[in-house]
Structure 1
Amino acid sequence: MYRRTLFIFAVSLLLPFVATAASFDCQKAHSEREKYICSHPIISQMDELLSAMYQRAHQYARDPVEVKKQQLDWWHISNDDCRAGAEPARCEAAYISAIAWLKKRYYADQQPLVSQPTQALAALIKGMQFPRESELDNTSKNALAAENYQPWPRRPLLHLAKGQSVAGLTAVYKNGTLYVYYAVSSDDKGGSLYELNMASNQTRLLFHAKYWTTLGQPLQVKKGLLFFVPGGNQQELRFPQNPEPQLMIYPVGSGEKPQPMTAQQQQRYSRILDAGNSFSVNEDGPWLAIYTAPLYYPTRYDIFHNLDGFRQRYDVRKQHSASAFVLYDRDNQVVQDPHISPGSSWNISGLVMARHQPYAYFANQGAVACIWQYDINRDEVSKIVPEHDARLPAPVSIDGHDFLVFTMKNQQGLPAIYLAVRPG
């Protein structure tokens, strides 16, 4: 009796202004169980609380489909306890048991976003929230049900003005500081490349170009250096007749002026440089995430000839028809296929490898648009950012935890840059 009284008191604190607050409209109750719930104010409040907790668990869980199944299973199992004519104490006990179990297993407020965060991590994850299904538009919401949805909590880093858009995005953690590099295009001002220092929260203009499109492809950080295209025609990076591609180099966080890449630097770093709209290389070197469509052009998109070994060993035409992209371990000559077939559902962009972890990230602009992660070891594709306009994923590792910088529109419909973290 004491336990029941204490729980009822707790419910009254959580829902102090609701006389009967079932998870459904009691005026439209039609089943015997719904009518029974509405006829008992305490049970009605318990039903409201349990429903809210299940909704929250569905947001935070790694397997939302399983959460929904558990909710339906509990509803059927507890039918005898909450049927018409049943003692209210039996039904209350069923709700108490379900709430206690759900809180222990899923309730997010009882668990940190990341385990044992350092002071630097705590500052970065402060204010992060999981995506709320109620705030998604219909396009994003409709794509959730049938997919492997494993959302990452996130928060906005900065907001852009009307008429601006993010043309390129990358990030790196160096000497205890997260640096975010983003290229911004404006309707009438060309494009500008910025460095955001998260430790000082200061933004610095690194470069300005008339042709903003060339700032974003490729924009990457490897070995503590930022590489980007200075301006002009993108063909400077696509065709081998230009023996010295016009790449610029900037030491991360140095405050120096970016300089053109020398022939010696090209030779040193060519193995690990991404090629825009073609492939991405992890920083350790062996793994390439390769779009299959550009493989038809043996002299284009691959100015450093990183794909020569792949072309020699595998049927390019077959790969292109089977998958939008493949993973290639060039050291061991192994191809891994995530089986994402080109078509109306998949229109891949922003494909990028994590620098050291076995993950590839990409945005999709097809029917299941959002940002995805491909786990190489598990051979598993999962949706981590549900919004259909999210794009330009940029992975970064901080103190052993995986973060992701990306861009999408904020609640006001303006472009913004966000930071997300892998939960757990």
Structure 2
Amino acid sequence: MTPAARLFTLLASSTLLALALHTPAAVAAGFDCSKARTLIEKSVCDTPTLSAKDDQLNALYKPLMTRRIYRELETRWVNEVRERCQTATCLERAYDLQIRNLTALPPPPVPGLRDAVPLPQGSAYRTLQDEPWPRFALAAIPDMYPDSLAQLIDVGIKDGVLYALLYVANSSDGPGYNQDNWSVQPSSGVLLEYADNRPGLHVIDRDVRFAGWRISELMDQGERYAGIQDGAFYYRQRTEGELQQAMVYTLGSRQSPQATTTVFHAQSRTLRFAKARVLGNMNDENSDLRLNYEHALPRPASETVLDPESGGWSLSNLAWSERRQVLYFENSGAMACIWRVDLSGKVLSKIVPEHTAGQPLAVELDGREAIVYVEHDQLMFALSPDL
């Protein structure tokens, strides 16, 4: 018996029940049943429980369909989950899964410093290498010439929409380093904004002599002078010589940035939101990862996440989640590429296996863990599969 015949047989009783209890087929589901063509579409229209779930799913998806991330998730669900079903039970489970995926969750509480507990002495992190997160491109990064450098500055959510800020510098201008004071030498580039409810990348400003961090390109990246706060993007730019001007751009406005007296200043990504301190100077020693729990009880303690003796490690771009006991980093060694450190479960996992991926930043998508990152000339997104 063919798969189609099996499904018709399994759904026959439901179809008869639907004809007896349902409203006309034209309004039986979230789509126009008079235009149903595939076996699955007809099954949804003819089965009361599936039709009701389709209505529920449609109500959840409609306000989200202007956002690229949810359009991508919906397409993937249709093609990779729903369309593979050959039984009524499978369809029911598929709809339950997507309804759960599209239902917003309350944000997780921000963990306290004492919520992170170090490993017992003699224990080790469990390593997972073959469980990558679902991921896809958000936008192509323009002006990426062979000597260009794209840097992901910050990500955030405003009114439910994901925003990401990037700076693309031409490395022929710089950036270079003054070894005496570790300040970035002047270079020009373009500031870009990604808004998930609009296609592509918006140019905030061109020929910007960006001064967004104390140390650029090194793994710690130093103190931050650029970032998102209260729905606006603050940054600094050089004017003449080493003189700097603070600027502000309202997210999603597509208006010219303005000079401001408000100055953004934050810790390095290695320390910002940290649930534990990273031991050692991460700009000099990047072949191992050790965490120091300064607030652990009854006394401070430390743990080794990865040992340099295991080989293949070259860490950079460490970034903490604000709301989770999680640290992300880019590894440019033999075991590339983006890794996740779960301080609660004591698990080290490779979540993005592509060797050109880097600069991960954490974001909460309707209460779910996700990261935004750069992969060569693409702005990328990855969502935790643990939904």
TM-score by length of 1: 0.49
Is residue 2:267 matched to residue 1:274?
yes
**Contact between 1:346 and 1:364, CA under 8 Å: does it hold in 2?**
yes
Task: Please give the alpha-carbon distance, in whole angstroms, between the structure 2 residues aligned to 1:330 and 1:230.
Answer: 37
Q: The residue matched to 1:127 in structure 2 has which SS?
A: helix
Q: The residue matched to 1:150 in structure 2 has which SS?
A: coil
Change (3 A) 1:147 1:358: closer
Report Cα offsets for 1:32-59 as digits up to 9, x if no partner: xxxxxxxxxxxxxxxxxxxxxxxxxxxx
2:257 aligned partner: 257
1:159 aligned partner: 140
Alignment map for 1:87-106 (pairs within 5 Å): none
Task: Please give the alpha-carbon distance, in whole angstroms, between the structure 2 residues aligned to 1:334 and 1:372.
Answer: 26
Report Cα offsets for 1:143-202 as digits up to 9, x if no partner: xxx843321111111113440431234211111211111111235683111112221336
Task: Please give the alpha-carbon distance, in whole angstroms, between the structure 2 residues aligned to 1:185 and 1:392.
Answer: 15
Change (3 A) 1:213 1:372: farther
**Contact between 2:248 and 2:257, CA under 8 Å: does it hold in 1?**
no
Alignment map for 1:385-400 (pairs within 5 Å): 385-400=352-367
Aligned-pair identity (%): 21
1:127 paired residue among 72, 80, 90: 72
Alignment map for 1:6-405 (pairs within 5 Å): 6=2, 118-119=61-62, 123=67, 124-127=69-72, 147-161=128-142, 162-163=144-145, 164-186=148-170, 190-201=188-199, 203-209=201-207, 217=221, 218=224, 219-222=226-229, 224-231=231-238, 248-253=247-252, 255=255, 257-259=257-259, 262=262, 273-275=266-268, 279-282=270-273, 287=275, 290=278, 292-294=280-282, 323-326=288-291, 328=293, 337-342=303-308, 344-405=311-372
Task: Please give the alpha-carbon distance, in whole angstroms, between the structure 2 residues aligned to 1:289 and 1:119.
Answer: 43
Change (3 A) 1:256 1:8: closer
Report Cα offsets for 1:65-95 as digits up to 9, x if no partner: xxxxxxxxxxxxxxxxxxxxxxxxxxxxxxx
Q: How many residues align?
A: 253
Change (3 A) 1:191 1:389: same
* More divergent stretch after superposition (352-361 vs 117-126): 117-126
Change (3 A) 1:322 1:392: closer
Task: Please give the alpha-carbon distance, in whole angstroms, between the structure 1 residues aligned to 2:202 and 2:196.
Answer: 12
- In structure 2, give the amino acid aligned to 1:326: L
Displacement of 1:347 in angstroms is 1.1
Task: Please give the alpha-carbon distance, in whole angstroms, between the structure 2 residues aligned to 1:370 and 1:232.
Answer: 37
Task: Please give the alpha-carbon distance, in whole angstroms, between the structure 2 residues aligned to 1:334 and 1:194.
Answer: 42
Structure having the higher helix fraction is 1
Task: Please give the alpha-carbon distance, in whole angstroms, between the structure 2 residues aligned to 1:383 and 1:150.
Answer: 7
Task: Please give the alpha-carbon distance, in whole angstroms, between the structure 2 residues aligned to 1:246 and 1:324.
Answer: 37
**Larger gyration radius, structure 1 or structure 2:** 1
Tell me which of the two structures has the higher relative contact order, counting C-alpha pairs closer than 8 angstroms and 6 or more residues apart: 2
**Contact between 2:361 and 2:372, CA under 8 Å: does it hold in 1?**
yes
Task: Please give the alpha-carbon distance, in whole angstroms, between the structure 2 residues aligned to 1:289 and 1:220.
Answer: 22
Task: Please give the alpha-carbon distance, in whole angstroms, between the structure 1 residues aligned to 2:349 and 2:128.
Answer: 8
Change (3 A) 1:291 1:195: farther
Q: CA RMSD in A?
A: 4.2
- In structure 2, give the amino acid aligned to 1:151: P
Displacement of 1:230 in angstroms is 2.5
Report Cα offsets for 1:341-395 as digits up to 9, x if no partner: 3475211111111121221111101110110111121121111000111001111
- In structure 1, give the amino acid aligned to 2:193: E
Gaps of 5+ in 1: 11-115, 131-145, 237-243, 297-319, 410-414
Change (3 A) 1:121 1:8: closer
Gaps of 5+ in 2: 7-58, 78-126, 174-187
**Contact between 2:338 and 2:352, CA under 8 Å: does it hold in 1?**
yes
Q: The residue matched to 2:271 in structure 1 has which SS?
A: strand
TM-score by length of 2: 0.53
